[in-house]
A and B are shown apart, each in its own frame.
Chain A
Amino acid sequence: MEGKQDVAEGSEALTSPYVLEYTYRRSLGPVVGRFLTGLREGRIEGVRTASGRVLVPPTEYDPESGAAVGDFVSVGVSGVVQTWSWVSEPRKGQPLDRPFAWALIKLDGADTALLHAVDAPSADAMRSGMRVTVRWRAERVGSIHDIACFVPGDEVQAAEPVAPAEPVRRMKSPVHMDFTIGAGRTLSRFLEGVVQGKLLGRRCPTCAKVYVPPKGACPTCGVPFADEVVVSDTGTVTSFCIVNVPFEGQTMKLPYTYGSVLLDGADIPILHLISGIPADEVRMGLRVKAEWLPEGERQPTLASIRWFAPTGEADAPYESYAEHQ
């Protein structure tokens, strides 16, 4: 059927590693803050609810009634494994670097279970109903990791004293996730063109609009794109922003100017750096051309265009791009 041929057919979809990481800063509130302060001091505290249950670890509010919880109660450092799961290949950041069990442990005096690691020689040494006891870390800072792990048995090991300090109110919570991002076939085909110094758009068979970079289907008409169209690397700045704000994770040197560039032959602008002109002279309607990295240095990313720089032509009339903002 005409117009249905997928020009991206046969292109290999590109992938790229992508890391999302950040260290959140938690305010703990009065209840969890006191629990972690207790751990630093070598003590495990829970809270008593109106119905007399002791919650360890404590929650701020009673799950049964929604009421605020009552008094803090010290509980034992030994308890009973309720259930468990063996970890034969520990992962980075887990409490132990050798095989161990995750276990729900009901400490003596508590009515709920705490999740922690049990350092057992093998899965055969684990069973529900077994008794386990805390092993404290020597350097304690007010964290669940102040409990290094639990060990089988009832032998209590005293916590080494730590220097007195302010109550714990905050904790850092780092997250790290590794992804593999796939560009998909349509974008991959476009990026192959970028490596060759070409900008390949695609035209909607229904509304005839040209999208660059192309998508799989027209967002307005909902139909797959048809013809591939080579779009000019010269265009018009339709609007822009001069960025002066530093922020965490930023890699661009400040200040920088980026703009919406409507490439000649395209119907939707792309965002890119505007350079080769003082920031205060950048204007709507400015005619610009892509400044490509040299052929051998181009990668499958729009960053293979270093920036867009003025062509020296007269500005485009406002009417020519007014509908692209």
Chain B
Amino acid sequence: MKTRCAVIGVGQTKHAAKRDDLSLAGLVREAALRALEDAGLGWADIDAVVIGKAPDFFEGVMMPESFLADALGAVGKPMMRVHTAGSVGGSTAIVAAHLVESGVHERVLTVAFEKQSESDAMWALSPKYPFVPPLVAGAGGFFAPIIRSYMRRSGAPVDVGAVVAVKDRLNALKNPYAHLHMADISLEKVKASPMLWDPIRYLETCPSSDGACAMVLASEAAAKRAPNAPAWVRGTSVRSEPAQFAGRNQVNPRAGVECAADVYAQAGITKPREQVDVAEIYVPFSWFEPMWLENLGFADEGQGWRMTLDGVTALGGALPINPSGGVLSTNPIGASGMIRFAEAAQQVRGRAGEHQVAGARTAVGHAYGGASQFFAMWVVSSASA
């Protein structure tokens, strides 16, 4: 590494089921302008743009990085697109961070987005492919058996999923950018909601959102001139594994365990549960909170649900998880990972607003994708070393 890298600007759209007022270009522009404003910069100050989104046929726009160059002030600049399925928002930010850390660029704009209202992710994720019966029904259908396996392995009470669903929706009430604002959410409501993919209920499921997230990443020299507090990138890691192999641990994938171990080692974290103040982790279905708490080393295997039930992961708990409301409250797929990374940065910058965790100094951003096979994480801190 030649230089340290910091987040000096963060911007998000107001996420919604349908941002019919904006084109795709207008959507990424709204997030990017807010990030530039936070960083006190204009388009001319940006050296390169790194963009990420989920698979092309989610919106049917091929090579969106070329199509969106005008909207992101990228004409005549290096621009590239990253693609790692649902984890893409995280790995996109990591590629941008590496461009700064390597000394190639001073200031990089990174943007991730999805406009789910233009398509249907259930359709896109459930192809009627030849030679096999059309069984899988979207992401929920894929992950439901894995959640059932977790419940059996851990012996967790059946309420855990509902507790996460309520906690994250209450957190979202404090986040003006969140898609869902469900003031009347309750355990009873979650448990009374329809069973979509048994054992996953409707209110334990993420919404479909239109939204974008952007960050400006800067070198140490550029970060020192930024108007607002930086979030220093203290570690980055990406790992993957095949979707299917004999003996694969789908509940607690090895790639996730190794991704976490790697990023903690870079950041000098030996006891994540004590040394991390807040984490934004990718929880599209509520049961993934306890599952990832274990996968990321915050809890011993089979014990993650206890942290949830004990209130440790609530805003005000010892390790708040997803104070922004998380993917359960906002899910523009390609952007969802970057929102986790950006919200982690906002926490250590002290700029998370009403959902700020008091005194947060070290935060984790996490994203996963595919068949729980792609992982991206970063650790950000208020201190540069």
Residues of chain A whose beta carbon lies under 8 Å from any beta carbon of chain B:
14, 16-18, 20, 22, 24-32, 59-67, 169-170, 173, 175, 181, 183, 187, 191, 207, 209-211, 218-220, 238-245, 247-252, 256, 258-260, 267-268, 271-273, 279, 284, 300-303, 318, 322-325
Contacts and interface: CB of A to CB of B under 8 A. Distances in A.
Interface string B65-77: 0000111111100
A209 to B, nearest CB: 4
B22 A22 contact: no
Contacts of B127: 20
A243 B141 contact: yes
B126 A219 contact: no
Given A24-B118, A245-B197, 17 more contacts: A25-B119, A27-B19, A27-B118, A29-B22, A59-B70, A60-B26, A169-B20, A173-B60, A181-B130, A183-B131, A219-B244, A239-B149, A249-B128, A267-B246, A272-B133, A284-B148, A325-B146
A268 B71 contact: no
A61 B68 CA distance: 10
B268 to A, nearest CB: 33
A27 B117 contact: yes
Contact of A66 (B24, B43, B140): B43
Given A24-B118, A32-B23, A209 B247 contact: yes
Contact of B23 (A20, A60, A173): A60
Nearest to B71: A61
B145 A240 contact: yes
B340 interface: no
A207 B133 contact: no
Contact of A20 (B57, B119, B131, B140): B57
B63 interface: no
A260 B60 CA distance: 32
A63 B70 contact: yes
A266 to B, nearest CB: 9
Contacts of B198: 241-244, 279
Contacts of A251: 128, 134
Contacts of B197: 241-245
B120 to A, nearest CB: 5
B358 interface: no
A245 B196 contact: yes
28 contacts: A17-B130, A20-B127, A22-B119, A27-B24, A29-B26, A60-B23, A60-B29, A60-B70, A61-B25, A61-B29, A66-B72, A181-B129, A210-B246, A211-B246, A241-B141, A241-B144, A241-B145, A245-B141, A247-B120, A249-B123, A249-B126, A252-B137, A258-B136, A273-B133, A284-B148, A300-B131, A323-B247, A325-B249
Contacts of B145: 238-241, 259-260, 325
Contact of A207 (B149, B194, B246): B246
Interface of B: 18-26, 29, 43, 57, 59-60, 69-75, 115, 117-120, 122-124, 126-138, 140-141, 144-146, 148-149, 152-153, 194-198, 242, 244-251
A27 B136 CA distance: 29
A250 B126 contact: yes
B147 to A, nearest CB: 9
A241 B75 contact: no
A77 to B, nearest CB: 25
Contacts of A241: 141, 144-145, 148, 197-198
B43 A239 contact: no
Given A16-B131, A27-B21, A251-B134, A268 B244 contact: yes
A31 B24 CA distance: 12
A173 to B, nearest CB: 6
Contacts of B24: 27
B70 A66 contact: yes
B23 A61 contact: no
A16 B131 CA distance: 8
A169 B22 CA distance: 9
B66 to A, nearest CB: 12
Contacts of A268: 244-246, 248
Given A20-B127, A240-B145, A242-B197, A220 B246 contact: yes
B185 to A, nearest CB: 21
Contact of B152 (A183, A267, A284): A284
Nearest to A252: B134
Contacts of A252: 134-135, 137
A258 B198 CA distance: 11
Contact of B129 (A18, A323, A324): A18
Given A220-B246, A268-B244, A268-B245, A22 B123 contact: yes
B194 A63 contact: no
Contacts of A219: 242, 244-245
A324 to B, nearest CB: 7
Contacts of B136: 258, 271
Contacts of A30: 26
Nearest to B121: A247
A29 B24 CA distance: 8
A14 B250 CA distance: 31
Contacts of B20: 27, 169-170
Contacts of A267: 246-247
A14 B137 contact: no
